[in-house]
Amino acid sequence: MTAGRLDGRAALVTGAGSGIGLAIAQRLAADGARVLTTDRAGEVDIVADVTALGINTKLVAEAEARLSGLDIVVACAGITGMEMLDGAGDEFFDQMMAVNVTAVFRLMRDALPLLKRSPHGRIILIGSVMSSFGEAGMTAYSASKHAVLGMTKSVAAEVGAFGITVNCIQPGAIDTPMTAPAFTTMPEFKQRWIDKAALGRLGQPQDIADVAAFLASDDARFMSGHGVFVDGGATQRQ
């Protein structure tokens, strides 16, 4: 932990009610940032659904009012789920894309005017190891996370002229409230991901938060347009 590394900087973190988002918000604050948090539930500054029309405009306005600007945007709100293509419903796919893609796109777009005013503009997206490959039953999720990585690359090319960096963290299997139901009901699925990881364990939210803090800092000032695997070496053992 680098206390003071983000002193004076203003951050907005979505999906900050639990899991990875909560850990990121806490880590940015520990490094000195002033953090505005939002989620559908939990102890956050603003309780909101990121898919609601116009909500991201409101969040950015709140950031300007409460924090006097915005330097760091972390789009962490997301959902996961498994559904085989044979018999898959439109609603499942549409919801996955609404949360994991459309809401992220809107947040970046609406936050851009404030980020352009910052000398330390940072956009940090949360993809997945499945931003780069797929798995049976994960078509909708994998499609959404491939889209996140694609947006990372394109937006980085677009906003670099303003000194804004854009990067995407690609977590492996992380032990969070969102993944807990699958790991509990399918212990073999949990063990498979433990076995995949060269480090032999599931990731913890703090493992992702530490990388987010790095990407938000000046230490990552010349790094943009990349997906960063944080997976315990799982993708090396396919």
pTM confidence score: 0.94
Residue keyed to tokens 């206390």: 3
How many Cβ atoms from other residues are within 10 Å of residue 41's Cβ? 8
Domains of the chain, CATH where assigned: 10-175+205-226 (3.40.50.720)
Residues near 9 by beta carbon (within 8 Å), at least 6 away in sequence: 32, 33, 34, 71, 72, 120, 216
Question: What is the rounded distance in angstroms from the CA atom of residue 77 to the CA atom of residue 85?
Answer: 24
Q: Which of 50, 51, 123, 141 is catalytic?
A: 141
Question: What is the rounded distance in angstroms from the CA atom of residue 38 to the CA atom of residue 190?
Answer: 29
- Helix ranges restricted to H, the chain: 19-30, 55-67, 90-97, 103-116, 139-159, 180-185, 187-196, 205-216
pLDDT digits (tens, 9 = 90+) for 117-129: 999 999 999 999 9
Is 80 one of the annotated active-site residues of the chain?
no
Mean pLDDT of 49-69: 96
pLDDT tier for residue 136 given thresholds of 50, 70 and 90: confident
